[in-house]
Structure 1
Amino acid sequence: MTVVLAVLVALIFTALGVTKVLALPLARELATHSGFSVTAYRGIGALELAAATGVLLGLTQPLFGALAGVGLLLLLAGALITHLRNKDTLRQIAPALVCALLVIGYLAVLKGIL
């Protein structure tokens, strides 16, 4: 179960991070909507890529996985705050909520809670 969740989390955040780092059109649009510069959004993408790497490293070094998961939760808390600040709809907020629940599940399995 840990491997499946780790790979899923890593794939999702690799895709999100690459989109932001490359400043693809959707990322540029979301950065503007969120009130971030493209440079700042690229920085968020780099953090997502680093966390995805940490989650995969967590398969052999659980401490790295746990730290990466906590880092992702902090990024997602920031995303949720930004969505609420912008008065986004539930449809716009839902991906961040789902990702947060997925990361919480990953951390719970990693720690043996689930």
Structure 2
Amino acid sequence: MSTAYTIVTIVGAAMVGFSAVSVFLHAKWVVEPLAEYGVPRSWWPWLGTAKAAGAIGLVVGLFVPVIGVAAAVGLVLYFTGAVVTVLRARSYAHVPFPLMYAAPVVASLVLWI
């Protein structure tokens, strides 16, 4: 396992974990856009749980690679859905935010190969 893979994976997990905690704590800068995009409030805990599970999966993947790959693929799909949601809401200025969280996850997948 390379040092770059380990660092990128830990950074990605930390970023996604931070995002999950922000949803759970209803941080204003996270939940206001979700409401603007039309994401039902009842989905928010599930979205936070999906991010938290993905972050944990990335870390576990350092020891059990198949779990890390599954978590990374799941997170890439999650953030792809987030980009689509932002685009559908026509909040084009917000597109970089889910991409910012997806970038280290994609990088960890690339480095894993």
**TM-score relative to the length of structure 2:** 0.89
Report the Cα distance in structure 2 between the residues aligned to 1:31 and 1:101, rounded to whole angstroms.
21
- Shift of the alpha carbon at 1:52? 0.2
Structure 1 residues 2-41: aligned runs within 5 Å: 2-41=5-44
Gaps of 5+ in 1: none
Task: After the TM superposition, list the runs of 4 or more consecutive aligned residues in structure 1 that deviate by more than 6 angstroms.
Answer: none
Partner SS for 1:87: coil
Partner SS for 2:95: helix
Partner of 2:110 in structure 1?
A: 108
Higher relative contact order (CA 8 A, sep 6+): 2
- Shift of the alpha carbon at 1:26? 2.6
Partner of 1:47 in structure 2?
A: 50
Gaps of 5+ in 2: none
75-84 or 93-102, larger mean C-alpha shift? 93-102
- Shift of the alpha carbon at 1:23? 2.0
Sort the Cα spacing of 1:23 and 1:38 in 2 relative to 1 into closer, same or farther, 3 A: farther
Partner SS for 1:59: coil
1:99 partner letter: Y
1:56–1:65 contact (8 Å) kept in structure 2 = yes
1:33 partner letter: E
- Shift of the alpha carbon at 1:79? 0.4
Structure 1 residues 70-110: Cα deviation after superposition (integer angstroms, max 9, x where no partner): 00011011001011101112x31112223323221110111
**TM-score relative to the length of structure 1:** 0.89
Count residues with an aligned counterpart. 110
Aligned-residue Cα RMSD (Å) equals 1.3
1:22–1:42 contact (8 Å) kept in structure 2 = no
Identity of aligned residues (%): 25
Report the Cα distance in structure 1 between the residues aligned to 2:85 and 2:77, rounded to whole angstroms.
12
Report the Cα distance in structure 2 between the residues aligned to 1:67 and 1:40, rounded to whole angstroms.
22
